[in-house]
Amino acid sequence: MAYLNKMKIAEARDALKKGDVTSVELTEACLSAIDAAGALNAFVHKTPEIAMERAKAADARLKSGDAPAMCGIPVGIKDLFCTKGVESQAASGILEHFKPEYESTVSQNLADAGAVMLGKLNMDEFAMGSSNETSVYGNAVNPWRRGNEDTALTPGGSSGGSASAVAADLCLAATGTDTGGSIRQPAAFTGITGIKPTYGRCSRWGIIAFASSLDQAGPMTKDVRDAAIMLEAMCSHDPKDSTSADIAVPDFEAMLTGDIKGKVIGIPREYRMDGMPDEIEKLWADGTAMLKDAGARIIDISLPHTKYALPAYYVIAPAEASSNLARYDGVRYGHRAKLESGEGIVDMYEKTRAEGFGAEVKRRIMVGTYVLSAGFYDAYYNRARKVRTLIKRDFDEAFEQGVDAILTPTTPSAAFGLGEMADADPVQMYLNDVFTVTVNLAGLPGISVPAGLDSKGLPLGLQLIGRPWEEGDLLNTAYALEQAAGFVSKPEKWW
């Protein structure tokens, strides 16, 4: 069978169960697609031996009849996840050659469900970026192009490799992580679906930490049904992550009825930003109309502290990063700088970190160090935490009014060209996250669904934000939106 790599999880699952296809065949199709897609620079560590071994085991398990939904499904794993015996570098030079002795809980859950790991995926260094341009492996490239132009576009970030790989059918799905929008923004830029679940749904154990109070893993898939299937396999309560929620994981797929009659959808007026492109405005209005046509009740809501989300985020995330990344000191793992005679341990730390980290990571560590330093802690860090309380309160109040989900654009623009932001100051790049960071600050589930194309033929996404722990209901609303939007476009193959 040709084009097995183009299958969705649900299709492949059904075909595997019926015996129409084997996991080995699916896996081989993906491995060939990966080998032919070097130009996308999505897979940065390939693991074909592990993949074939797991595919064979999955086929045996399928034959025995005891096979969960993800059994035999070939997936890519973001480089942020520690995978036993396989390079796990967070796309950083400071973790060069690092091969963990352990497996992250999320990737272990997927392996236990029989999923097949194809390799590790490109990303922004330590997940800090919105364009995959801060990676030590070089840029990942978006399979989409503007019409007939050959300008290389960003797949977004930080889960840029995951987005590019799924959009280009190099794998059936991929893991991502999202600290300020790193699943949803790249999903929007590449015409795929990505969900960040409620904080605490997925264990953070073994995921290289960026900002621990914001980080969450989630699936990046070809449609909403696949997101439901894969999310369920990724979630679990994990005693090794003290913030992991000890609550049952529902059958998300079973909740996809497409019926949203009587659901209340909030449209937050503060997300209507000055200078927002007309195409984004229109997409948002179209999405609103689609949900209304599907029987939902649309109400205008106010989330008054929205404009302070980005400032609060750029205190809290760097502060946590400066603490988390203190461990990269050249002692226990990764890069250690060569020392001149007479240089001591502080020189070792300073040179190791100067050589190992890229510019954006250094910038954020130092901003974090500054906002946590004596004399500034209250003015910056504590104030940011108070603003965070207010941002969450905005959402709580909307939900108390009876809102079931909130609809917004995912990003303020379509994918931009790699290098186009090179001369912009760092804050210009941070604006990419303006619609997504609020969700991380409030710990809520958020999903991006592809909903249309811009005038240059690039995909655009809409974001739905749900109540905490109600991913099933959120996925169902997303499913209704997906059905109404009918987005089926794929990038034309040039790579």
**Is 131 part of the annotated catalytic residue set?**
no
List CB contacts of 291: < 8 A, sequence separation 6 or more: 260, 263, 265, 298, 407, 477, 480, 481, 484
List CB contacts of 356: < 8 A, sequence separation 6 or more: 92, 93, 94, 95, 96, 328, 330, 334, 335, 337
Nearer to other proteins, 386 or 493 (CB): 386
> Shortest approach of other proteins to residue 53 CB, angstroms?
22
Q: Rounded to whole angstroms, how far apart are CA atoms 385 and 389?
A: 6
Q: What angle do CA 249, 251, 255 make, to 5 degrees?
A: 125
- Contact yes or no for 288/466 (Cβ under 8 A): no
**Is 213 part of the annotated catalytic residue set?**
no
Task: Count residues binding other proteins (CB under 8 A).
Answer: 76
Nearer to other proteins, 168 or 245 (CB): 245
> Shortest approach of other proteins to residue 472 CB, angstroms?
18
Q: What is the dihedral of CA 262, 268, 274, 278, to 10 degrees?
A: -10
Nearer to other proteins, 323 or 489 (CB): 323
Q: For residues 92-151, which are near other proteins according to CB under 8 A?
A: 97-101
For residue 45, state whether it binds other proteins (rule: CB under 8 A).
no
DSSP string, 53-69: HHHHHHHHHHHHT---T
> Shortest approach of other proteins to residue 333 CB, angstroms?
4
Helical spans, DSSP H, in 72-144: 105-112
Q: For 45, which DSSP code?
A: E
Set 182, 244, 322, 448: catalytic member = 182
For residue 302, state whether it binds other proteins (rule: CB under 8 A).
no
For residues 228 to 257, the per-residue mask of contacts with other proteins, x marking binding by CB under 8 A and - elsewhere, is -----------x--xx-xx-----------
Q: Give the tokens for residue 406.
A: 């909130």
Q: What angle do CA 50, 52, 53 make, to 5 degrees?
A: 65
Member of 54, 222, 263, 353 binding other proteins (CB under 8 A): 353
Is the preceding omega at residue 158 within 30 degrees of 0, hence cis? yes
> Shortest approach of other proteins to residue 270 CB, angstroms?
14
Member of 36, 254, 289, 354 binding other proteins (CB under 8 A): 354
Nearer to other proteins, 174 or 442 (CB): 442
Enclosing H/E stretch for 324? helix 309-324
> Shortest approach of other proteins to residue 284 CB, angstroms?
24
Nearest to 416 by CA among 424, 404, 408: 424
- Please provide residue 398's backbone torsions phi and psi, each rounded to the nearest 5 degrees: -65, -45
Of 105-113, 268-276, 329-337, 485-493, the segment contacting other proteins by CB under 8 A is 329-337
**Is 78 part of the annotated catalytic residue set?**
yes
For residues 195 to 224, the per-residue mask of contacts with other proteins, x marking binding by CB under 8 A and - elsewhere, is ---xxx------------x-----------
Which residues are paired to 459 by β-bridges?
453
Q: Are strands 446-453 and 193-196 parallel, antiparallel or unpaired?
A: antiparallel
Nearer to other proteins, 120 or 351 (CB): 351
Member of 152, 273, 276, 339 binding other proteins (CB under 8 A): 339
Q: For residues 403-442, which are near other proteins according to CB under 8 A?
A: 425-427, 430, 441-442
Burial group, residue 314, by CB count within 10 angstroms (0-12, 13-18, 19+): buried
- Contact yes or no for 434/463 (Cβ under 8 A): no
For residue 61, state whether it binds other proteins (rule: CB under 8 A).
no
- Contact yes or no for 99/86 (Cβ under 8 A): yes
Nearer to other proteins, 148 or 242 (CB): 242
Q: Rounded to whole angstroms, how far apart are CA atoms 185 and 463?
A: 9
Nearer to other proteins, 380 or 479 (CB): 380
> Shortest approach of other proteins to residue 242 CB, angstroms?
5
Nearer to other proteins, 53 or 360 (CB): 360
For residue 329, state whether it binds other proteins (rule: CB under 8 A).
yes
List CB contacts of 69: < 8 A, sequence separation 6 or more: 9, 13, 113, 229, 232, 233, 253
Q: For residues 363-392, which are near other proteins according to CB under 8 A?
A: 363, 365-371, 373, 376, 379-380, 382-390, 392
Nearest to 368 by CA among 172, 250, 183, 211: 211
Nearer to other proteins, 374 or 488 (CB): 374
Member of 63, 269, 272, 307 binding other proteins (CB under 8 A): 307
Q: For residues 80-99, which are near other proteins according to CB under 8 A?
A: 97-99
> Shortest approach of other proteins to residue 354 CB, angstroms?
4
Set 23, 92, 158, 159: catalytic member = 158
Member of 344, 400, 423, 488 binding other proteins (CB under 8 A): 344
> Shortest approach of other proteins to residue 336 CB, angstroms?
4
Of 202-210, 265-273, 312-320, 415-423, the segment contacting other proteins by CB under 8 A is 312-320
For residue 56, state whether it binds other proteins (rule: CB under 8 A).
no
Q: Are strands 297-301 and 264-268 parallel, antiparallel or unpaired?
A: parallel
Q: Are strands 264-268 and 405-409 parallel, antiparallel or unpaired?
A: parallel
Member of 332, 400, 423, 488 binding other proteins (CB under 8 A): 332
Nearer to other proteins, 222 or 388 (CB): 388
Residues serving a catalytic function are 78, 158, 182
